[in-house]
Amino acid sequence: MNATSTRTRQWLVNPADALAGEISVPGDKSISHRALMFGGIADGLTRIAGFLESEDCRATLAALQSLGVLIERSSDGEVRVHGAGPEGLRAAAGPLDMGNAGTAMRLFMGLLAGRRFDSTLVGDASLTRRPMERVAAPLRRMGARIETRDGRPPVVVRAADTLRAIDFEMPVASAQVKSAVLLAALQARGTSRVVEPAVTRDHTERMLRAFGVAVGRDGAGVTLAGGQALRGTRVDVPGDFSSAAFFLVAGAIASGDGLTLRGVGMNPTRTGLLQILSAMGADIHVQPVAAAGEEPRADLRVRPSALRGITVPPHLVPLSIDELPVMFIAAACAEGVTDLSGAEELRVKESDRLAVMAAGLAALGVRHELKPDGMRIWGRPRTDGPAFQGGRVDSHGDHRIAMSFAVASLRAAGPLAVLDTANVATSFPPFVALARAVGMDLEETDADVPGA
Ligand code: S3P
C-alpha cells in the first residue's frame, strides 16, 4: 500500500454453466438493527435469534454498548440485549461510528433526539456523502437540536428537552425517515403521526408492537403516542430477502436444476422484486413456512426461466428499492426492454446506484439508457447468446452492486473482474461461500487499486 493506492478486495468470476443447491441466507439487516436498538431502550431482556453478523449490524451493536447497553452473545449465536430502559442510555465517551450503515445513522438520530446528553454520529466515506437533513428536519420540528455538515454526516445530536409530537407528511418514501421519527415520537409529549407518500418497509411498526407499543393506523398515517415503554421480547430474525434476491436472479438466469432458498423473510413491504420477476416470467415457487414472530417467511424455489422485459410498476419501486441493481441484471438477460422510472432514491444509496450500474452495464456491453430517475435496458435472452461481455466493473465499494455483477457472470461471454468488494461484509459476509456452494466460479483476492 502507498499514498496513491489502497489495499482492497476484488473478485474474479468465471462464467459458470449451471447452478443447483439449497441454501439459507443470513438474517435480515433491517430487522437486526431494529432488534438491537429497540432492545436497548426496552425494559428487561431481549433475545435475538438469527441476528445478522455483518459490519453494519456490528456498528449498531458497538454504538449501543458505547451508550451503556449491556449486550451478550450466547454460544448458540443468540444475542442478548439487557435493556437500559426508556431513560437509561448514557453519553458515549466519543463519536459513534456507523461505518457504512445508513440505517444505523438515521435511526440513531431519532433514538438519541430527546436525550439529556450530546452524541456525535460519524461514518465512512460513502455514508459521509449521504443526505441526513431528511431526518434532521422533522426531528428539529419536534424540538430536537441536530447539526449536520452541509446536510451530511457527521451529525451532532445535542441534549434536548422533552420533544413535541409531530404530524409529518414525508416528502420521500423512506422507511429510515419514518422509523427515526417514530423513535423520536416515543420520547415526545402527545401523539405523533407520520404519513408516507408510498408504502415502505414496516419492520419498525411490527417490531414496536412486539415490544408492547401501541402503533395505530390512520388512513395513510402511522400514529404513536409518546411515553410508551418497550418491554423486552424475543425476536426471530428471518433470512434477508435482499440477500436472497441475488440468488433468485441467479437461479432464474443460469441453467441447471435451480435453487432453493430456505427461511426467507416475506414481509410484503420487502418483496416487490418477487412481483417484478414474476411479471418478467420467472419460475419461482413460494412455500410459506411457520414464522415465530410478526415477520412472515417462506422457502423459495427458483428455476431457470425465459425472462421478458417489463415496465416496472411505480408502486413496486419502494418495495424493491435495494433489489433494483440485481433487477437490472435480470433485465439484461430478458427478451425485450425493461423500463424503470421513479427510482431517483437509488442515487443516494451506498453509491449512486443508477450511475454506477450504468457504468458497469456499459463496461459489459449491455445496451441501456440512463434516466434521471431510472433506466431502460435492452436485454438478450439465452437464445441470443451471452448477455454480457467479459470485462472489469467497479462496484465503487457498494455491496449490492458487487453482488449484482457477480450474478451477471452467469450469462457472460468471458471472465468478470469485480472491483472494490470488501463492503459485501456490511450486509452479506458469507456471499462468496454460498455463491460457490451453488456452483458459481468466484475467486476472491486482495488487489492494489491505483489512486483509490
Ligand atoms: C432501510 C430502508 C431503505 C433501504 C435500506 C434499509 C431500513 O432506505 O434502502 O437499505 O432498514 O429502514 P430508505 O429509508 O432510505 O429508503
Q: What is the pLDDT of residues 361-376, one digit of tens each?
A: 999 999 999 999 999 9
pTM of the model: 0.97
Mutate to test the pocket of ligand 1, among 100, 170, 176, 316 (most ligand atoms within 8 A of CB): 176
Q: Which residues line ligand 1 (CB under 6 A)?
A: 30, 103, 174-176, 179, 201, 321-322, 345
Q: Is the pLDDT of residue 128 over 90?
A: yes
Active-site residue flag, 257: no
Rounded distance between C-alpha atoms, residue 336 and residue 255, angstroms: 20
Mean pLDDT, the chain, integer: 96
From ligand 1's centre to the CA of 174, what distance in Å? 6
The tens digit of pLDDT for each residue in 181-237 reads 999 999 999 999 999 999 999 999 999 999 999 999 998 899 999 999 999 999 999
Q: Tell me what pLDDT residue 5 has.
A: 45
Q: How confident is the model at residue 219, as a pLDDT?
A: 87
Residue range 49-58: average pLDDT? Answer: 98
Question: Which one-letter amino acid corresponds to residue 94?
Answer: G
Tell me the pLDDT tens digit for each residue of 148-188: 999 999 999 999 999 999 999 999 999 999 999 999 999 99
* Ligand 1 atom, smallest distance to 174 CA: 14
Query: In Å, how far are 141, 194, 204, 215 from 209, measured between CA atoms?
Result: 25, 16, 9, 6
pLDDT band at 7 (very low <50, low <70, confident <90, very high): low
Catalytic residue among 322, 394, 398, 420: 322
Ligand 1 atom closest to Cα of 176?
Answer: 14
- In the chain, the percentage of residues whose pLDDT exceeds 90 is 94
Q: Is the pLDDT of residue 6 over 80?
A: no
Mean of the pLDDT values across residues 428-440? 98
Nearest CA to ligand 1 atom 10: 322
Grid coordinates belonging to 442: 468466484
Residue 325, φ and ψ in degrees, nearest 5: -60, -45
Indicate the top mutation candidate among 28, 29, 30, 346 to test ligand 1's pocket, ranked by most ligand atoms within 8 A of CB.
Answer: 30
Q: Tell me whether residue 75 is exposed, middle or buried, using C-beta atoms within 10 angstroms of its C-beta: 0 to 12, 13 to 18, 19 or more.
A: exposed
